[in-house]
């Protein structure tokens, strides 16, 4: 979408024969490999101008850690699907490797790429709605309301398989998005959880409904909830943040707007591309990089692909800086980083522990 990067190589299927066929069928010529091991090994022998700038890991959860670690050890930046990996042991190892090599690493929490997510972050962190008291961060779906995995549907089958998905189904798949939206927008951390992981579809080995009451590090409270059995909901990710001065609401199915409610004042709706600094609420000195991030005129709606493109654009900038030996950010302000990925795994493991203990309040582990 930006014309500054393209796919150049791929290991596109577990079966090497099919992987090479898929590469040959790509829309334009790319180098095909029978496995990611082959691709990473071959990269070391390529001329500098043909080496991979970064790799994307878009596999099921159980095939995140190994290619990520091997790429890092080969000196290749990584942009990995969420959740980061299967467990905290793997997450700890990835964090340590990234820190050791000081190399860009991103986690694909797509919804952080919406411009309105960034506007929400600015509004809340600037203190314009006051101190955060309460957050309701949720992600509701209905596609697994029946036993879809029994029909052979591949996307359903691996998500409900503990060997491929990890400790939590619904929580790991979409609950981590709700957690990340809370952390990204508010800047707050979850310190303790009282968790209830439930399975409504009989015979399903992992949760399809995920309800977590949280304590925040500023003394506030939050609800992180997710469901895949709510018929009628598609990708209904949203957040409500209640502060001492006002409330902010955002929904990714209506990603062009942010709604702010201030005590005793008219409701305010801010639209992407039509934000006016100095309107009596938003300061005149809003960050220039935030205002510059709008890419198409207001009224031409941005969506999921635009959000993803924004994440990659920001990650690309860090990779280019890193390759040139210049400082780079990778601080979680433009896309989720490896520490954010670690927090997602720590959250899931703690929620599973709490749920098994009948929702007992349980502290999250300290950061690695």
Q: Can you give the residue range of the structural domain that contains 16? A: 9-110+312-338
263 with 274, same domain?
Answer: yes
Q: Looking at residue 58, what is its pLDDT?
A: 97
Q: Looking at residue 157, what is its pLDDT?
A: 96
* Angle at CA of residue 187, ends 184 and 188, nearest 5°: 115
* Angle at CA of residue 1, ends 176 and 302, nearest 5°: 60
In a domain, 61, yes or no: yes
266 with 141, same domain?
Answer: yes
In a domain, 305, yes or no: no
91 with 148, same domain?
Answer: no
In a domain, 122, yes or no: yes
Give tens-digit pLDDT for 262-305.
999 999 999 998 888 888 788 888 888 888 887 788 889 999 99
More confident residue, 291 or 351: 351
Q: Looking at residue 367, what is its pLDDT?
A: 87
In a domain, 229, yes or no: yes
Q: In what order do the strands lie in the sheet with 221-227?
A: 268-271, 257-262, 246-251, 236-243, 132-140, 221-227, 209-216, 190-198, 362-363
In a domain, 98, yes or no: yes
SS3 241: strand
187 with 272, same domain?
Answer: yes
Give tens-digit pLDDT for 319-349.
999 999 999 999 999 999 999 999 999 999 9
Entry pTM: 0.96
152 with 267, same domain?
Answer: yes
d(CA 210, CA 123): 28
> What is the number of domains present in the chain?
2
> How large is the average pLDDT for residues 13-21?
97
169 with 292, same domain?
Answer: yes
Give tens-digit pLDDT for 148-161.
999 999 999 999 99
236 with 268, same domain?
Answer: yes
106 with 118, same domain?
Answer: no
The CATH number of residue 61's host domain is 3.40.50.720
The CATH number of residue 281's host domain is 3.30.360.10
Q: Looking at residue 294, what is its pLDDT?
A: 73
d(CA 276, CA 273): 9
Which structure tokens are listed for 295? 């890419």
In a domain, 176, yes or no: yes
66 with 46, same domain?
Answer: yes
214 with 276, same domain?
Answer: yes
142 with 106, same domain?
Answer: no
CB-CB contact of 119 with 290 (8 Å)? yes
255 with 134, same domain?
Answer: yes
> What's the chain's average pLDDT?
96
């Amino acid at each position: 979408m930006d014309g500054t990067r393209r796919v150049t190589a791929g290991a596109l299927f577990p079966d090497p024969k099919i992987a090479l066929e898929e590469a040959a069928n790509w829309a334009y010529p790319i180098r095909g490999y029978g496995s990611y091991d082959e691709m990473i090994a071959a990269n070391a022998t390529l001329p500098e101008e043909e080496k991979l700038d970064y790799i994307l890991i878009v596999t099921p959860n159980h095939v995140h850690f190994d290619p990520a670690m091997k790429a890092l050890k080969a000196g290749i930046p990584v942009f990995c699907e969420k959740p980061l990996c299967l467990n905290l042991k793997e997450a700890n190892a990835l964090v340590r490797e990234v820190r050791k090599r000081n190399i860009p690493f991103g986690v694909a929490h797509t919804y952080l790429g919406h411009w309105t997510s960034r506007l929400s972050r600015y509004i809340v962190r600037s203190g314009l709605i006051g101190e955060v008291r309460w957050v309701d961060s949720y992600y509701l779906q209905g596609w697994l309301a029946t036993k879809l995995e029994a029909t052979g549907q591949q996307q359903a089958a691996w998500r409900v398989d503990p060997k491929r998905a990890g400790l939590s189904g619904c929580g790991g798949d979409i609950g981590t998005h709700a957690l990340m939206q809370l952390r990204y927008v508010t800047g707050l951390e979850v310190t303790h959880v009282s968790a209830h992981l439930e399975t409504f579809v009989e015979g399903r080995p992992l949760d399809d409904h995920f309800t977590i009451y949280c304590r925040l590090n500023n003394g506030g409270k939050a609800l992180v909830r997710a469901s895949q059995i709510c018929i009628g909901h598609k990708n209904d990710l949203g957040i409500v943040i209640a502060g001492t001065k006002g409330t902010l609401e955002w929904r990714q199915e209506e990603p062009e707007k942010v709604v702010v409610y201030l005590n005793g004042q008219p409701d305010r709706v801010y639209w992407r591309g039509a934000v006016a600094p100095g309107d009596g609420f938003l300061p005149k000195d809003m960050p220039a990089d935030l205002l510059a991030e709008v890419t198409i005129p207001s009224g031409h709606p941005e969506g999921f692909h635009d959000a993803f493109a924004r994440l990659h654009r920001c990650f690309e900038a860090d990779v280019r800086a890193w390759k040139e030996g210049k400082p780079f950010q990778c601080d979680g302000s433009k896309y989720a980083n490896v520490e954010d990925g670690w927090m997602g795994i720590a959250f899931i493991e703690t929620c599973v522990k709490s749920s098994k203990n009948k929702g007992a309040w349980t502290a999250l582990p300290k950061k690695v």
